[in-house]
A and B are shown apart, each in its own frame.
Chain A
Amino acid sequence: MVVKLENVTKTYKKGVRALDNLSFEVRDGEIFGLLGPNGSGKTTSINCLLGLLKYESGNIEVFGEPMSANRYDLKAEIGFVPQNVAVYTELTVYENVDYFCGLYVKEKEKRRRLVEEALNFVSLLEYRNVYPRKLSVGLLRRLNIACGIAHKPRLIIFDEPTVGVDPQTRNRVLEGIKRLNREGATVIYTSHYMEEVEQICDYIVIMDKGKVIAHGTNEELKASIRHGETIEVQLLEPKKEYLELFGKIHNVYSTYYKDDILVIKSEKGSTNIPNVLEILKDKGIKYGLLFSEIPTLNDVFLEITGKELRD
């Protein structure tokens, strides 16, 4: 076990309980996803895990050892990529990576090699002499990652690394994380973007209000809910009576309108697309688009909490 959190409780000074008996484990070599809406306690749990925040009760272990603020031996094995870009604006790209790597690696030649590798990894070699204020948001994010991974840590924590970046950079970041994992690093990835977590994580913990509300692999989480399929039909003449009409289909447990789109939700089992198409044809209902969606982590979150993950 690389990380183990056991009944960790953290309350901020104003009485806000950020973590409420939080427990989870991260296994060696996996990409562990910590998913939850903003304010669910993801960053707080990471900060507690890193020894950056004090907590009232519970235990945290890293690499099988109790973690605390002064466990510098354990910290040396951890890489951290914070949510906001944390680099020195007075240093160039190279100097920044060299500084953060230098906090762990003293040997000059080895450090030089590691810095080059990190810059190459995030494709910033050509920007090595550029100052951060001259970099775009995407390039800054990549620099932020390079600073966290240059010393080749065994455990790398990414705290919402794709907030505010364009899709291209996002894909590049996610690909990079998978590569780091393939090269042997255990990764903890926190995000409120379910698609990202679905895309790269082997094991997922969904958090809300400082608690774990669900955990498992992507498939396990989706299998754990009642929901099976969402069919959305863009009607040209939406009518209220259609809600009842489509609601009578076998396995359908909810129908509603989202603007002029009729949403039909079915329980797990066979697909209802043929049944929906049949009714549309028989009743002569005019429609534009029709598409079906398999369950997402948002559905898991919605079914457990009654609210959207993006709320």
Chain B
Amino acid sequence: MTVFRLYWRIFWKNSVIALIYFMVFIVLGLIQVQNYPEDEFSFSIVKTKIVFVDRDNTEITQGLKSYLEKYAIYKDIEEGKIEEALFYNEIELYVEIPEGFTEALKEGEILPIGIKTGSQAPRAHIITRTIQKYSHLAYVHINNGQDSEALVSKLRDLLDREAVVSEVGRAGADLSESVYYFNYMAYLLLALIISVISVIMLAFKPLEIKRRNLLSSISNRKMNLILLFCNFLLGIGFLLALLVLGIILYPRQVLTGSGFLLMLNAFIFIFPVMALSYLVVTLFDSKNVITACGVVFSLGFSFITGVFIPQFLLDEKILLIAKFIPSYYYVANNNKINEIANLNFQNLRPVLTNFLIQLGFALLFILITVYVAKKRETQEN
């Protein structure tokens, strides 16, 4: 109990730092979560500057011009200056409806529409596609005996119709928002555990202190086990605090089977993080260096493993590096859990594999720590 009490006394003395860290991270976390986008992507229409020359001037061609206003801003430029305007990006597209276009449609022919594009060809592509669609729909409906007046509004309706996609067969809850929170938790756990546990362990590190403890009637092994247990309790404490917050924020998502998997994933993630904090404190003796490590590892790991930016948006080379970091598998697991529609062994297999990889990292860090510690002990001897 003496060592146990000492650990918590030292934690208590460092608790202000831990609390500040915690509060700052929580506030940052909440801000991040609040800013979570409703949809993964949102689009806004960027209008294209065009010159529209209608040499036919019928209801059908006027209807086209009117419909294209949705995507285009019409510019008035002299015909002789069109090439120049395209070159200098004053306009992105030049459209010329040939004379007799509507008549030709009635006769079963689609006259080619004159189109010239500038350097912003991709944006102009939307307009050209719309023009093509409009021409073909007009062609089909005119040849089916539809009169021009009613046809313009019909074409508008048809072009505005969007495909409706619906998801079927999903049994698990939609965890999108809570996954975002759980991913962000990787950063919090890394920063908190490395900074706080390492600083506490640093108090036990000076050689003279170590020797004074070694000289006591408590065995070195017992002492290390007590410290390990205390670190585990502290790690669990941090995790529980963050989980409780997660439950408060997203009760419907977290208190489900998939939510339980997210929590389990976070629990497993604290093992490599704690092992990493042991490695950091074994490698470095300065409190400032250790605190810096906490910041560098938490931010660095989070940036390249998909905590802040979704993994599918990261460059392949970055992801290749990220695969050497446990938080990559933690984040990948959160995403995977969110994707799983039905919780069965087959679907859970990749999740379980990622659990094992995370525990493998913990083992690797412990082995490196033991090696470094042994080497240091030999040097001290």
- Point out residues on A near B: beta carbons under 8 Å: 12-13, 47, 50-54, 69-70, 72-73, 75-76, 78, 80, 82-91, 95, 99-100, 102-104, 106, 147-148
Contacts and interface: CB of A to CB of B under 8 A. Distances in A.
A86 B211 CA distance: 9
A102 B7 CA distance: 14
Nearest to A14: B379
Nearest to B222: A72
7 contacts: A13-B378, A51-B215, A82-B211, A82-B212, A90-B203, A102-B2, A148-B212
B288 to A, nearest CB: 15
Contacts of B159: none
A66 B381 CA distance: 20
Given A76-B216, A76-B217, A82-B208, 7 more contacts: A82-B211, A82-B212, A91-B6, A95-B9, A99-B5, A102-B2, A103-B2
A13 B381 contact: yes
B38 to A, nearest CB: 47
B10 interface: yes
B37 interface: no
B145 interface: no
Contacts of B213: 103
Interface residues of B, number: 25
Contacts of B9: 90-91, 95
B14 interface: yes
Looking at B213, B214, B217, B219, the one whose CB has the most chain A CB atoms below 10 A away is: B217
B115 interface: no
B80 interface: no
B70 to A, nearest CB: 68
A78 B218 CA distance: 13
A47 B381 CA distance: 10
Nearest to A88: B203
Interface in B1-56: 2-3, 5-6, 9-10, 13-14
Nearest to B379: A13
Interface in B356-381: 378-379, 381
B209 A86 contact: yes
Nearest to A74: B217
A72 B219 contact: yes
B17 to A, nearest CB: 12
Given A54-B381, A90-B14, A103 B211 contact: no
Contacts of A99: 2, 5-6
